[in-house]
Amino acid sequence: MSARTLYDKLWDEHVVSQRDDGSALIYIDRHIVHEVTSPQAFEGLRLAGRKPWRVDSVLATPDHNVPTTSNERRSGVEGIEDPISKIQVKTLDENCDELGIVEFKINDQRQGIVHVVGPETGACLPGMTIVCGDSHTSTNGALGALSFGIGTSEVEHVLATQCIVAKKMKNMLVQVDGELAEGVTPKDVVLAIIGEIGTAGGTGFAIEFGGSVFRAMSMEGRLTVCNMAIEAGARAGMVAVDQITLDYVKDKPFAPKGEQWQQAVDHWRQFTSDEDAHFDRVVTLNAADIEPQVSWGTSPEMVLPITGNVPDPTREADPVKKQGIERALFYMGLSAGQAIQDIALDRVFIGSCTNSRIEDIRAAAAVIKGRKKSESVKEAIVVPGSGAVKAQAESEGLDKVFTEAGFEWREPGCSMCLAMNADKLGEGEHCASTSNRNFEGRQGYGGRTHLVSPAMAAAAAIAGKFVDVRKF
Amino acid sequence: MRKFTQLTGLVAPMDRANVDTDLIIPKQFLKSIKRTGFGANLFDELRYLDKGEPGMDNSNRPLNPEFALNRPRYQGASVLLARENFGCGSSREHAPWALEEYGFRSIIAPSFADIFFNNCFKNGVLPIVLSEQVVSRLFDEMYSEEGYQLTIDLQQQQVKTPYGDTFEFEVDAFRKHCLLNGFDDISLTLQDEDKIKAYEEKRKQTSPWLFNAIS
């Protein structure tokens, strides 16, 4: 057989049947479900008189709507103040109970953001195909898995058939070699990549992240990078299996054990791209050139190094792009040429499926320790990605580091990343956010999001404006 | 699913690049557990001057007169003309649900985000990719002529302008087949039930850990 990429291998292993028009029936090993994109799928199943094909492949947890204050969380689902959110979380509980689907309910310690819970429990494993009705499902590709987001009709389709009808994507390699400078994190790497290829650069591709930077990167860093593959337009991002992958997966609650572990490891080691495998597009970045990144506009590709200045639309020749810059500057309340380090902040959000794992919490705490949140910042919240992350952070005393600095330490959920619960920005407020999308209104009506790493968000909370964490 | 065969319809503009699904239907409306009721909140933040919340009576809300879809000349539009990377961001199928319920049966753009593109086909909405030059020309023609209509023929894979120009577009054979017939693709997949079961049996032998129960 000719040389294959990691994506080729994952794809080939899951083809149930190949159709003449180029599409294929692909088997799905793991299906993760949350409350927002599933109710209509369960209803569709019921109306058609169908049952889930394989209940034991499904894992559910509520995350988008759950409140994050301990007061509102205390009485579980019944305590959710927003009546519409409450119905949605209850509906997930009822659907899972009725069908026998395992669900980590709102106050189960294993509850959390779907893309944090999947890897940390071992529900998501190398070599798997994984789907969820959520575009950030690309996260799990960090394990050496084929993992992508789907719509609600496809959620129903996977529940009913255990398969998805798909056409193979093209292969893209994003290669970053060299060494990252101190203070430059996985989030900065992925933001720099998106800045380079654009939000549609990966459309139609599955991206493999390769090169010495990703080989040296921790599993949690790789999860952050793959999480934002979708922000570059790619449904799936992935990193090849290596010893770091295996060490991370070993002993996770749902990881195979004993003899099965050895059998699985032997199988997983093949999930790397062959040396002479063909990629349809290759993009290379030099690690040494990457600085801490800050997004200035309303699309993740509108990103600059901390030392940069906001662009001037009069210098853009393309009329559609020029108009885009003007609209973004207007929405963000920024002026052409303004220095990134002059942007003052109203709120700081540390959390989301991009940056709410223990390493993210530790990185932010390390910057904050012994310092105080700026008076000019109205609110700084830290929302751990899961109950397990929260417990780990508390056992290390990190919650105290945050609360002593004037931050709020919250309960796990998606929170202010998309502001479906009570955590949101006010109109016109600027936020340093460790989340993944800076779209208009994303974090609240009229809210102004700046995407940054946890360390940069922490430093910004202390300074009240963006500062270079390398000099902080 | 509603069939899509042929359509002649009024064209309306969404004249900006990278329109994301948060813009198409903001998150507060995603709390609904139904498939319907999203049309009135399509492009909510652009369409109304106030902040929209679920359960509001949308007929009393102040409309943004600057927003194209609020102009009298675009009322009743069924074709949306858009710029590159339309539908990027979240996988929410509420976006095509909202577009379809509003009345759009087809969207024409130079490019679409993958998940959104796929979701359209599941809801009787036909996304059409035409080159940037052609799309720009259609924008110009639409702006200069009130009542500008396009005819879309899925069988022929053609877009026809009132001036007699015809543009061909690509569409996957399987998606075309489903859309032309309004087929539910779950029943089509279940015709391969035996193949799925055989695949599963084989993998239980080669990769048994994939079938361990989680609890």
Share of chain A above pLDDT 70, in %: 100
Alpha carbon distance A396, A382 (integer Å): 15
Residue A15's DSSP bridge partners are A26
Residue B190 is assigned to a structural domain of this protein: no
Residue A247 is assigned to a structural domain of this protein: no
Contact criterion met (CB < 8 Å) for B35 and A161: no
Of the candidates A133, A156, A323, which has its C-beta nearest B16's C-beta?
A323
Alpha carbon distance A168, A63 (integer Å): 30
Regarding whether A208 and A152 lie in a shared domain, the answer is no
Last residue of a domain, one of A166, A199, A221: A166
* Sign, Cα dihedral of A150, B39, B131, A174: negative
Q: Is B180 helix (H, G, I), strand (E, B) or coil?
A: helix
Determine whether B7 is exposed, middle or buried from the number of CB atoms within 10 Å of its CB (0-12, 13-18, 19+): middle
Residue A246 is assigned to a structural domain of this protein: no
Regarding whether A460 and A352 lie in a shared domain, the answer is yes
Alpha carbon distance A119, A100 (integer Å): 22
Alpha carbon distance A142, A147 (integer Å): 9
Last residue of a domain, one of A131, A148, A166: A166
Please report residues of B whose CB lies closer than 8 A to that of A102: 214-215
Please report residues of A whose CB lies closer than 8 A to that of B203: 27
Regarding whether A384 and A315 lie in a shared domain, the answer is yes
DSSP characters for B118-152? HHHHTTT-EEEE--HHHHHHHHHHHHHSTT-EEEE
Alpha carbon distance A202, A170 (integer Å): 9
Determine whether A410 is exposed, middle or buried from the number of CB atoms within 10 Å of its CB (0-12, 13-18, 19+): buried
Residue B201 is assigned to a structural domain of this protein: no
Residue A454 is assigned to a structural domain of this protein: yes
For residues A243-257, one letter each, b for 16 or more C-beta atoms within 10 angstroms of the residue's C-beta and e for the rest, the string is ebbbebbeebebbbb
Number of neighbours of residue A258 by Cβ within 10 angstroms: 7
Regarding whether A326 and A191 lie in a shared domain, the answer is no
Residue B33 is assigned to a structural domain of this protein: yes
Contacts of A398 (CB under 8 A, 6+ apart): A361, A362, A365
In chain B, the number of structural domains is 1
Phi, psi of A19 (to 5 degrees): -100, 160
Mutate to test the interface with B, among A81, A260, A269, A439 (most CBs of B within 10 A): A439
Contact criterion met (CB < 8 Å) for A151 and B122: yes
Residue B191 is assigned to a structural domain of this protein: no
The token pair that represents A12 in the structure block: 């080939």
In chain A, the number of structural domains is 3
Contacts of A427 (CB under 8 A, 6+ apart): A444, A445, A446, A447
What letter would DSSP give residue A180? P
Check residue A1 and give its pLDDT.
64
**Please, which residues 354-393 of chain A have a Cβ atom closer than 8 Å to chain B?**
none
Alpha carbon distance B177, B90 (integer Å): 27
Q: What is the pLDDT of residues A247-282, one digit of tens each?
A: 999 999 999 999 999 999 999 999 999 999 999 999
Residue A87 is assigned to a structural domain of this protein: yes
Regarding whether A223 and A175 lie in a shared domain, the answer is yes
Q: Compute the count of residue pairs across chains A and B with CB atoms less than 8 Å apart.
A: 193
Q: What ipTM did this prediction achieve?
A: 0.95
Q: Is the pLDDT of residue A234 over 80?
A: yes
Which amino acid type is present at position B76? G
Instruction: Beginning with the edge strand found earlier in the chain, give each strand of the sheet holding A58-60 in spatial order.
Output: A102-103, A58-60, A30-33, A129-132, A146-149
Q: What is the CATH number of the domain that holds B21?
A: 3.20.19.10
Q: What is the pLDDT of residues A102-113, one digit of tens each?
A: 999 999 999 999
Contacts of A391 (CB under 8 A, 6+ apart): A109
Residue B197 is assigned to a structural domain of this protein: no
Determine whether A310 is exposed, middle or buried from the number of CB atoms within 10 Å of its CB (0-12, 13-18, 19+): buried
Phi, psi of A467 (to 5 degrees): -135, 160
Exposure on the CB side of residue A31, measured as CA atoms within 13 A: 31
Alpha carbon distance A443, A418 (integer Å): 5
Regarding whether A336 and A234 lie in a shared domain, the answer is no
Give, in order, the Cα–Cα distances in Å from A439 to each of A212, A232, B22, B162.
Answer: 32, 14, 7, 36
Regarding whether A107 and A68 lie in a shared domain, the answer is yes
Q: Which helix (H) or strand (E) holds A236?
A: strand A236-238
Number of neighbours of residue B71 by Cβ within 10 angstroms: 13
Residue A401 is assigned to a structural domain of this protein: yes
Strand-pair category, B79-82 with B106-109: parallel
Check residue A320 and give its pLDDT.
86
Check residue B184 and give its pLDDT.
82
Strand-pair category, B166-168 with B158-160: antiparallel
| Range A123-136 average pLDDT | 98
Contacts of B54 (CB under 8 A, 6+ apart): A84, B28, B29, B31, B32
A381, A346 in Cβ contact below 8 A? Answer: no
Give, in order, the Cα–Cα distances in Å from B187 to each of A15, A30, A132, B110.
Answer: 19, 21, 21, 32
Residue B205 is assigned to a structural domain of this protein: no
Q: What is the CATH number of the domain that holds A218?
A: 3.40.1060.10
Regarding whether A173 and A123 lie in a shared domain, the answer is no
Contact criterion met (CB < 8 Å) for A153 and B213: no
What does each of the 215 residues of chain B score in pLDDT, given as a tens digit? 889 999 999 999 999 999 999 999 999 999 999 999 999 999 999 999 999 999 999 999 999 999 999 999 999 999 999 999 999 999 999 999 999 999 999 999 999 999 999 999 999 999 999 999 999 999 999 999 999 999 999 999 999 999 999 999 999 999 999 999 999 889 999 999 999 999 999 999 999 999 999 88
Distance from CA of A90 to the nearest CA of B (A): 11
Residue A232 is assigned to a structural domain of this protein: yes
**Please, which residues 79-108 of chain A have a Cβ atom closer than 8 Å to chain B?**
82, 84-85, 87-88, 91, 102
A352, A417 in Cβ contact below 8 A? Answer: yes
Mean pLDDT of chain A: 97
Regarding whether A446 and A394 lie in a shared domain, the answer is yes
Of the candidates B22, B33, B55, which has its C-beta nearest A439's C-beta?
B22
Residue A248 is assigned to a structural domain of this protein: no
For chain B, state the CA radius of gyration.
Answer: 20
Check residue B126 and give its pLDDT.
98
Distance from CA of A345 to the nearest CA of B (A): 23
Alpha carbon distance A116, A149 (integer Å): 15
Contacts of A14 (CB under 8 A, 6+ apart): A26, A27, A28, A29, A129, A146
Q: Which domain covers residue A16, as residue numbers? A: 6-166
Q: What is the CATH number of the domain that holds A113?
A: 3.30.499.10
Contact criterion met (CB < 8 Å) for A152 and B93: yes
Regarding whether A214 and A73 lie in a shared domain, the answer is no
Residue B209 is assigned to a structural domain of this protein: no
**Please, which residues 62-81 of chain B have a Cβ atom closer than 8 Å to chain A?**
none
Contact criterion met (CB < 8 Å) for A199 and B88: yes
Residue A270 is assigned to a structural domain of this protein: yes
How many residues in total does chain A contain?
A: 472
Last residue of a domain, one of A130, A149, A166: A166
Q: Is A174 helix (H, G, I), strand (E, B) or coil?
A: strand
Alpha carbon distance A307, A422 (integer Å): 34
Q: Which helix (H) or strand (E) holds A190?
A: helix A186-197
Q: Which domain covers residue B98, as residue numbers? A: 6-184
What letter would DSSP give residue A15? E
**Please, which residues 432-471 of chain A have a Cβ atom closer than 8 Å to chain B?**
437, 439-442, 445
| Range A346-353 average pLDDT | 98
Q: What is the pLDDT of residues A295-345, one digit of tens each?
A: 999 999 999 999 999 999 999 999 888 999 999 999 999 999 999 999 999
Tokens 């798997």 correspond to A128
Please report residues of B whose CB lies closer than 8 A to that of A235: 114-115
Check residue B215 and give its pLDDT.
81
Residue B61 is assigned to a structural domain of this protein: yes
Give, in order, the Cα–Cα distances in Å from B159 to each of A61, B77, B79.
Answer: 44, 16, 11
Contact criterion met (CB < 8 Å) for B22 and A442: yes
